[in-house]
Amino acid sequence: MTTPKKPSPKGKPNRKQKKSRDGKGQNSLIHDLQKKMETCPNAETLNDQVITPFIQALVSVCDARGYVLNIYGDHCNLAITPEEHAESLFQLIESYLDNADLE
């Protein structure tokens, strides 16, 4: 015998409704980020208004949970390091790209 579930208070969706409450479902973050990115006229603005804040949020959550991120992908890589390692890692990547025979 199961107990009936309480209805959600008016205006608050239950778990199943949350997934698609805005018509975008799980893709809402992707949609919102893409929309924000499209408003950025150049790489500097994109970095300042979207990428850096997103990474700062990601680092904060990872730090709080004790995660260490090193994501390797087909089209990009993401490595999260302590601040004192950022410049060295950047220089290492730049040196690799300068010496690689990429076209």
HSE-up (13 A, CA, CB side) for residue 87: 1
Please tell me the total count of domains within the chain: 1
Q: With respect to residue 32, please indicate whether it lies within any of the assigned structural domains.
A: yes
pLDDT in tens, 3-43: 444 444 444 444 444 444 445 556 898 999 999 999 999 99
Residues 76-94 have a mean pLDDT of 81
**pLDDT number for residue 32:** 92
Q: With respect to residue 91, please indicate whether it lies within any of the assigned structural domains.
A: yes
Task: Give residue 94's domain range.
Answer: 27-99
Mind spelling out the 3-state secondary structure of 39-81?
CCCCHHHHHHHHHHHHHHHHHHHHHHHCCCCEEECCCCEEECC
**pLDDT number for residue 39:** 96
Q: With respect to residue 62, please indicate whether it lies within any of the assigned structural domains.
A: yes
- Select from 94, 57, 89 the least CA-distant residue to 70: 89
